[in-house]
Structure 1
Amino acid sequence: MTQTTGQTFDAINPATGQAFRTLPDANMEDAVAVIARARRAFDEGLWPGMSYAERGIYLKKIAQLIREHAKELADLEVADVGKTIKHANFIDVPTAADCFEYFSSVSVEDVENAVAAPVASRTVYEPRGVITAICAYNYPLIYAAWKIAPAIITGNTVILKPSPLAAATIHRLGELLPATGLPEGVVNVITTTSDEVAAKLVRCSKVDMVSFTGGTETGKKVMAEAAKKAKKVVLELGGKSPNIVFTDCRLEAALGGALSAIFINQGQMCTAGSRLFVQDELHDEFVKRLVERARTLKMGNPADAATEFGPLTSREHRDRLLQTIARAREEGATVACGGRAPNSEGYFLEPTILTGVTNDMAVAREECFGPVLSVIRFQTEEEAVAMANDSRYGLAGCVWTQDEQRASRVARALKAGTVWINTYGNFFNEAPFGGVKQSGFGCELGTEGLKEYVQAKHVCIDKTPGGMPLAASWF
């Protein structure tokens, strides 16, 4: 991104609280320029007119580029977000590369419609135009891939704005992309701390679509801005996902799954299994063993390969979670483990498990987006489903049981975009991911996610014998 002002902001390492890099802080002039660049690349460039196969060559090059710079990008994710190096190496970098690889070989084909009329009816799929993609701070590189790959394979151009809390990895990716030979203006990275600049990227009439990943309240503001120009929006928002454990579960698998569902990435996941429903007969034993395991998690420098649990991404977020825990105590919850911020540099918060939680407490109603687990008792399947669905969110859910019929019933009954059975957190490029209720609408990934980035057009050609269709002889 070429700036007009030269203003910058600091990227902060949440493990130390210290700046480790400076990034461009775009202003309104920069926003106008980047929109114009993306618009010109779509309206005047060759990209939209290329075949899927031709565009796919560039996606393969991006996948290879990410793999070649895997260590650099992983180290940046650790310094920028606070996730462990194990997480960045095993999940973030390969997932991003694989996403580009997958979408390099997919396409949305035109369809011949079988209609009862003397016409040739065809549905053609065209790129939408300029896409503004706004990413949350918890998985910068993965979200960038999830948005860029399907958008550009379908012929669109993209403006990518990462969260200012975690923009270093995406800024670096933007610096690397020209090495692939990608035509100018197809992918444009802009970093900024300005809410007004972000709003400009959403509401500008030269932007055709917005794809947003982030909090529900911010998502509503994005939708309101986009509505001013009646443009398409895809929203992947917050969650308060239910993780339901029945007495007949495979205990070790369920324990490990419950830990991973809330403590991977320090719980900074929109799909975090932050409401753990445990059937009454199993509750006490399950909680006892879960607490024992949570207390063994090694918290520390996320760049250390032995670290299992790093810091939260910002001081403000850590402090909000401390307030959330304090309020849960006031409402009657018990802190079974954790709940404190260590006296050390960085934005650390101990893995926290709350017991005695009821589904009407604030901690069970609102997204925490951190390592705070609310354990809730239930007795019957019907009660578990009712409490699980009693939420404004509907992003994900999980069921642990060896009864396949029960698993199927509960999965169908849960109001969520994704339901896992006897596992947690599996995402696949081939399968859609999205939410219901106030967790958003539209999809990432899969055929459904790909089609978000194309516009259907009906083309109808007359085939009437003699060339006199009804429309030509009506009057």
Structure 2
Amino acid sequence: MEGGAPVDYGGGMTATASDKTSTVAGSWINGAVAQTTGPTHQLVNPATGGVVAELALATPADVDTAVGAARAALRGWATAAPVERSAVLAKLAELMEANAEVFIAEEVSQTGKPVRLATEFDLPGSIDNVAFFAGAARRLEGKASAEYSADHTSSIRREAVGVVATITPWNYPLQMAVWKVIPALAAGCTVVIKPAEITPLTTLTLARLAKEAGLPDGALNVITGAGADVGAALAGHPDVDVVTFTGSTAVGRRVMAAAAVHGHRTQLELGGKAPFVVFSDADLDAAVQGAVAGSLINTGQDCTAATRAIVARELYDDFVAGVAEVMGKVVIGDPHDPDTDLGPLISAAHRDKVAGMVSRAPDQGGRVVTGGRAPEGPGAFYAPTLIADVAETSEVYREEIFGPVLTVRAFTDDDDALRQANDTQYGLAASAWTRDVYRAQRASREINAGCVWINDHIPIISEMPHGGVGASGFGKDMSDYSFEEYLTIKHVMSDITGVVEKDWHRTIFTKR
């Protein structure tokens, strides 16, 4: 973005939110910029194809250094009073607010997402999440002491599980870093995070501001490198205690396999193929608007995006016509322009993948109603696309597209609607559109997903959990529920009798 404020990463290296190339240190270890020796990687603005920065990547040796720093910092941070951890996170939220322009400029330049989305969704949601966990850090309570046997008092302690290794994706770089890092820090864990090597800027800024907020050196470390070497080294590192990951289902399974070698606990937020069920009594205008917004958010690069509209036959034709009309009004263009609705996909390669899936849809029974093309000019743009009459066996219906594409099928009755909604390996999110409270309650019970929206699709709040079932992974981000990923439960049992010879001793030996 023109006029974007420069971000100082130390050593005279800065990144600006323009297409002027600068050199950025890709790692932050033990509270300072780390001069890594890995290959240089170019960060490309997907809207222009211009190089934003050249990034010095990390190596597996840097992973060892970062994990060592996190391990050394663990005891001090884990034993800090909850109010101390809370104060650091509260200060971090303030600093994020003060540096809003920096975060927005970096997020837009590295992802190509529209500035309006970054300004009104990504950044405020991230700040709110940090503020939420600043408060939640002071509510980490165990179970009250009680006597469950005549001779002992039992209590439960909830303690930081240890060093957390986390790997985050490129679609929401700042939000995903916050979702993984902040509850772990609030719980008393220390963290090593590997952001996607194509979108590391806001994660590095987050780490820099965390230090400024008072986070001890080593409590948060950032390493940037390719998943095949640095990511694998982190997920399989013997000295971490839990591995968390957000990304594709295929990669998530590899991460879990690497973590399993050492028996590490894992938390995975993976792919999705969200059903968008429109019953016959739904508000059609609301459903049309919701379908367009839910399918196009972040250019469709969202695991919870509405991708499978399943519509009552009575409303089917009007729904298809309505969605096509609204999609036709969506403004594609410069992400820096506040009037832009839809930015580019993350790369030309990803755009070509999306285009390939759409191009094969007619051969599998689908009908491209609108879109289905890449606009002329630079950048990895792709038009909002609606594909009607898709077969249940078609690729675009079953596989995650991760682009601005909505497919539509009709259903005959409520049983058929819910059957189709659950006909997927994924289970991250879903929505049901109806004015009937009984239909809504049935849909919320019977759709297999970690989140079911009623008459809406996409909103999230810090107080409520996010996570899926099936091939969408397990465990939760956000909310108090996410603490369970970063805490271990300890039972403390104390004798209350003072008796030397316990009655149960006779089961082992008899006094002679």
> Under TM normalisation by the shorter chain, which class is it?
over 0.9
Q: Equivalent residues in 2 for 1:3-18 (5 A)?
A: 3-5=35-37, 7-18=39-50
- Give the stretch that moved more between structures: 160-169 or 371-380: 160-169
1:241 Cα deviation after fit: 0.6
1:22 matched to which residue of 2? Answer: 54
2:418 matched to which residue of 1? Answer: 385
2:377 matched to which residue of 1? Answer: 344
Q: 1:4 to 1:297 in 2, by over 3 A?
A: closer
2:96 matched to which residue of 1? Answer: 66
CA distance in 2, matches of 1:210, 1:194: 14
2:14 matched to which residue of 1? Answer: none
Q: 1:432 to 1:469 in 2, by over 3 A?
A: farther
1:117 Cα deviation after fit: 3.7
2:497 is equivalent to residue 460 of structure 1:
no
What do the CA deviations read for 1:448-473 (whole angstroms, capped 9, x no partner)?
11121100011111224635433333
1:18 Cα deviation after fit: 1.3
1:80 matched to which residue of 2? Answer: 110
Tell me the amino acid that sits aligned with residue 156 of structure 1.
C
Q: 1:319 to 1:470 in 2, by over 3 A?
A: farther
Contact 2:364 2:391 in 1 (8 A): no
2:4 matched to which residue of 1? Answer: none
2:74 is equivalent to residue 51 of structure 1:
no
Number of equivalenced pairs:
473
What do the CA deviations read for 1:165-195 (whole angstroms, capped 9, x no partner)?
2212212322333221211001111111352
1:136 Cα deviation after fit: 1.1
* Matched position secondary structure for 2:386: strand
1:6 Cα deviation after fit: 6.4
CA distance in 1, matches of 2:336, 2:62: 34
2:256 matched to which residue of 1? Answer: 223
CA distance in 1, matches of 2:191, 2:451: 27
> TM-score under structure 2 normalisation?
0.90
Contact 2:386 2:405 in 1 (8 A): yes
Contact 1:396 1:416 in 2 (8 A): yes
Contact 2:155 2:492 in 1 (8 A): yes
CA distance in 2, matches of 1:210, 1:130: 9
2:327 to 276, 288, 294: 294
1:90 matched to which residue of 2? Answer: 120
CA distance in 2, matches of 1:449, 1:135: 16
CA distance in 2, matches of 1:420, 1:180: 36
1:108 matched to which residue of 2? Answer: 140
Tell me the amino acid that sits aligned with residue 424 of structure 1.
H
Contact 2:38 2:59 in 1 (8 A): no
CA distance in 1, matches of 2:504, 2:257: 41
CA distance in 1, matches of 2:502, 2:309: 63
Contact 1:321 1:368 in 2 (8 A): yes
1:53 Cα deviation after fit: 1.1
Q: 1:194 to 1:452 in 2, by over 3 A?
A: closer
Contact 2:157 2:492 in 1 (8 A): yes
CA distance in 2, matches of 1:319, 1:349: 9
Contact 1:165 1:313 in 2 (8 A): no
Contact 2:92 2:209 in 1 (8 A): no
What do the CA deviations read for 1:389-433 (whole angstroms, capped 9, x no partner)?
011000011000000111000110000000000111121111111
Q: 1:207 to 1:280 in 2, by over 3 A?
A: same
What do the CA deviations read for 1:301-360 (whole angstroms, capped 9, x no partner)?
111011000000111111111110111111121110001011210100000000011222
Tell me the amino acid that sits aligned with residue 28 of structure 1.
P
* Matched position secondary structure for 1:444: coil
Q: Equivalent residues in 2 for 1:44-443 (5 A)?
A: 46-106=76-136, 107-112=139-144, 115-443=148-476
Contact 2:36 2:57 in 1 (8 A): no
CA distance in 2, matches of 1:260, 1:452: 31
CA distance in 1, matches of 2:92, 2:471: 33
What do the CA deviations read for 1:82-121 (whole angstroms, capped 9, x no partner)?
1110000001111111111000111321113552442111
Contact 2:165 2:240 in 1 (8 A): yes
Tell me the amino acid that sits aligned with residue 176 of structure 2.
Y
* Matched position secondary structure for 1:367: coil
Alpha-carbon RMSD across the aligned residues, in angstroms, is 1.3
CA distance in 2, matches of 1:21, 1:84: 20
Q: 1:323 to 1:51 in 2, by over 3 A?
A: same
1:372 Cα deviation after fit: 1.0
* Matched position secondary structure for 2:387: strand
Tell me the amino acid that sits aligned with residue 417 of structure 1.
G
Contact 1:258 1:273 in 2 (8 A): yes
* Matched position secondary structure for 1:239: coil
- Give the stretch that moved more between structures: 195-204 or 212-221: 195-204
Q: 1:445 to 1:126 in 2, by over 3 A?
A: same
CA distance in 2, matches of 1:136, 1:36: 24
* Matched position secondary structure for 2:356: helix
Contact 1:239 1:271 in 2 (8 A): yes
> TM-score under structure 1 normalisation?
0.97
CA distance in 2, matches of 1:305, 1:473: 78
Contact 2:37 2:56 in 1 (8 A): no
1:162 Cα deviation after fit: 0.7
CA distance in 2, matches of 1:115, 1:344: 72
Q: 1:389 to 1:114 in 2, by over 3 A?
A: farther
Tell me the amino acid that sits aligned with residue 132 of structure 2.
Y
Contact 1:171 1:189 in 2 (8 A): yes
Tell me the amino acid that sits aligned with residue 102 of structure 2.
E
CA distance in 1, matches of 2:147, 2:471: 37
- Give the stretch that moved more between structures: 265-274 or 28-37: 28-37
- Give the stretch that moved more between structures: 22-31 or 69-78: 22-31
**Structure 2: gaps spanning 5 or more residues:** 1-27, 29-33
Contact 1:3 1:30 in 2 (8 A): no
1:34 matched to which residue of 2? Answer: 66
Tell me the amino acid that sits aligned with residue 128 of structure 1.
V
* Matched position secondary structure for 1:466: coil
* Matched position secondary structure for 2:311: strand
Identity %: 39
